[in-house]
């Protein structure tokens, strides 16, 4: 078996994430498939490249030596492909490739962009991982990315990207069953949720770390359930747990969304762009700001929070 770029890319993903599960998610393959591929690579080389530990995968000395040569090769191949695609795009006409984590501002943002940029091919790529989207912008696979950064868990921004802050500190609310005792109050204390199981998606960059830090500071050591937030909604509705959520979330009839007293959980909302057209990027940011304002004002719980805090201040451009 001869090593190919896809094999090197898989090895880099395993090393970067420290987990076969996370690497498989980044690469868009199943974990068993990636495990089989790694075994074949190791068999062809006659050496173990990663030591499998309970806490994850760590490169062996041979693995580190291979990765030191593999990373620049993968980066060069990515740049080659990006440049080729950019040349094709220039010949085909204007386009705008957007990446984003989940946000209710997306429909309004896309609508504004399509009205302001008629004739532009606008595409959307969704991912739960902000860091993955930033890597795609750096590789030339996306033009812009709208991402969130969990407070206390900074993102890894590749060099050469421009970062603008949309919201410096967006509070994270909590979702719970409609009949949860804490739902009777307009604002919830963390102590009122000490006996609940918290549902957290571990694939969202910084999500678990941020929640764990805040709960530990409050002296709470809750039961945890790892899962995606689509599944979480059904569990929350029947009282099986609570979960952090965006303040713009639209509550269901069987769920309640409440702010947390003191806003201990928060994220920073960022628009990240690669080398491009400053005038276009300014318009992209302005459309996003307007769309976010609309959903912020359209969410009753968030609107009340904004009134109490007397401000919504999208931040100025950041270096």
Residue 317's pLDDT is 40
E strands in the chain: 50-53, 56-59, 95-100, 121-126, 144-150, 162-171, 173-177, 198-200, 224-226, 243-245, 255-258, 266-273
CA-based nearest residue to 314, from 297, 299, 292, 294: 292
The pLDDT tens digits for 141-169 are 899 999 999 999 999 898 889 999 999 99
Residue 221's pLDDT is 87
Residue 319's pLDDT is 36
Instruction: Give the burial class of 233: count Cβ atoms within 10 A of its Cβ; 0-12 exposed, 13-18 middle, 19 or more buried.
Output: middle
Secondary element (H or E) of residue 33: helix 31-45
User: With DSSP H G I counted as helix, E B as strand and the rest as coil, what are the percentages for the chain, rounded to 5?
Assistant: 45, 20, 35
Query: Could you tell me the two tokens for 211?
Result: 């929640």
The pLDDT tens digits for 54-84 are 778 889 999 899 998 888 888 888 778 777 7
Residue 225's pLDDT is 84
Residues with pLDDT less than 50, the chain: 314-319
Residue 154's pLDDT is 92
Residue 282's pLDDT is 87
Cα–Cα distance, 53 to 76 (Å, whole number): 31
């Amino acid at each position: 078996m001869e090593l190919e770029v896809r094999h090197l890319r898989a090895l880099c993903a395993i090393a970067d994430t420290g987990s076969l599960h996370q690497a498989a998610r980044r690469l868009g393959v199943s974990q068993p498939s990636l495990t089989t591929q790694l075994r074949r690579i190791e068999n062809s080389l006659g050496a173990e490249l990663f030591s499998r530990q309970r806490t994850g995968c760590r490169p062996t000395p041979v693995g580190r030596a291979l990765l030191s040569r593999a990373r620049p090769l993968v980066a060069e191949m990515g740049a080659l492909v990006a440049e080729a695609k950019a040349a094709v795009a220039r010949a085909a006409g204007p386009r705008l490739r957007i990446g984003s984590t989940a946000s209710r501002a997306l429909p309004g943002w896309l609508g504004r962009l399509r009205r302001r940029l008629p004739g532009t091919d606008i595409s959307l790529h969704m991912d739960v991982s902000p860091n993955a989207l930033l890597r795609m912008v750096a590789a030339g696979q996306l033009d812009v990315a709208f991402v969130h950064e969990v407070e206390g868990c900074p993102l890894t921004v590749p060099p050469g990207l421009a970062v603008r802050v949309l919201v410096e500190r967006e509070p994270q609310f909590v979702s719970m069953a409609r009949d949860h005792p804490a739902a009777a109050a307009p604002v919830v204390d963390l102590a009122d949720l000490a006996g609940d199981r918290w549902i957290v998606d571990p694939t969202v960059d910084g999500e678990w770390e941020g929640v764990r830090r805040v709960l530990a500071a409050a002296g709470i050591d809750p039961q945890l359930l790892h899962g995606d937030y689509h599944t979480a909604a059904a569990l929350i509705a029947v009282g099986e747990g609570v979960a952090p959520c965006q303040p713009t979330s639209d509550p269901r009839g069987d769920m309640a969304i409440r702010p947390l007293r003191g806003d201990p959980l928060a994220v920073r909302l960022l628009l990240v762009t690669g080398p491009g057209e400053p005038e276009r990027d300014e318009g992209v940011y302005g459309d996003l700001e307007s769309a976010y304002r609309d959903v912020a004002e359209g969410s009753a719980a968030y609107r009340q929070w904004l009134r109490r805090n007397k401000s919504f201040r999208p931040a100025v451009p950041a270096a």
